[in-house]
Amino acid sequence: MRVKICGITRTDEIALLSRLAIHFAGIWHGVDGGHANLPFSQFHRLVSETIDIGGVEPVLVTFLNDLRELQDVIGRSRVRWVQFHGFQPPSLILALKKALFMRIGIIKVLHVEGRYCMEQALIGAYERAGVDVFLLDAATADGRVGSTGQLLDSDVVHTLADQLTKPFLLAGGISADSHVDHCQTVRHPRFLGIDVDTAARGKDGKICGARVEILSRFWVASKGGKQHAIELY
């Protein structure tokens, strides 16, 4: 089972995640107004340091939707994974995959408000465009997406997951205890793991090793401790 910790801004946080055998570190660029958004110079440096430290795969988390800008950011930073937040069209993902000769892993967020997935009609198009992993996350009625702290309904997740042919990560109010609410989710054949931001932080807002370790241990145990063997890209 894969664990992704999102909103990383510091080298010591990367070193901590590496020691804890966390798989993905979400590093924000092009998320204007986001609590962890980094200008390109800081993003570039942190991605390079993550690659040098090893053990953790850096992920560009972004709202960017301009092909040339994305090519520039990816090419200059050497990041190998992109997580598309917001509502980028399948055509952009297809164009990016072609431009980079498929040498990039794509995570596409599917925003779920209540029982409604905003990208429902585009799932097939996203898969054909080259999405490697979906991320199911909560959206709010007032339009907030990402880091909402709202837990997705397990029945809604299971119904949506049945429509996918790609693996998925689960976000939205993830905590050490919330695996209890997602018993059927962790048993789904396409369940890949979890994406966590708020619950991985201490009261000071920084990534807390004890919180990450407990959270990871509980979810891995609920999955049975088995690794997902799928080739992602």
Complete DSSP assignment for 56-116:
SEEEEEE----HHHHHHHHHHH---EEEE-S---HHHHHHHHHHTTT-SEEEEEEEEETTE
Structural domains in the chain, sorted by start: 2-223 (3.20.20.70)
pLDDT tens string, the chain, 233 residues long: the values are 899 999 999 999 999 999 999 999 999 999 999 999 999 999 999 999 999 999 999 999 999 999 999 999 999 999 999 999 989 999 999 999 999 988 999 999 999 988 899 999 999 999 999 999 999 998 865 555 655 567 798 999 999 999 999 999 999 888 888 888 888 899 999 999 999 999 999 999 999 999 999 999 888 887 764 444 444 44
Q: Is-contact 28 36, C-beta < 8 A?
A: yes
CA distance 58 to 81: 7
Is residue 224 packed enough to be buried (19+ CB in 10 Å), middle (13-18) or exposed (0-12)? exposed
Residue 142's alpha-carbon distances to 37, 113, 129, 135, 139, in angstroms, are 21, 10, 29, 20, 8
Q: pTM here?
A: 0.92
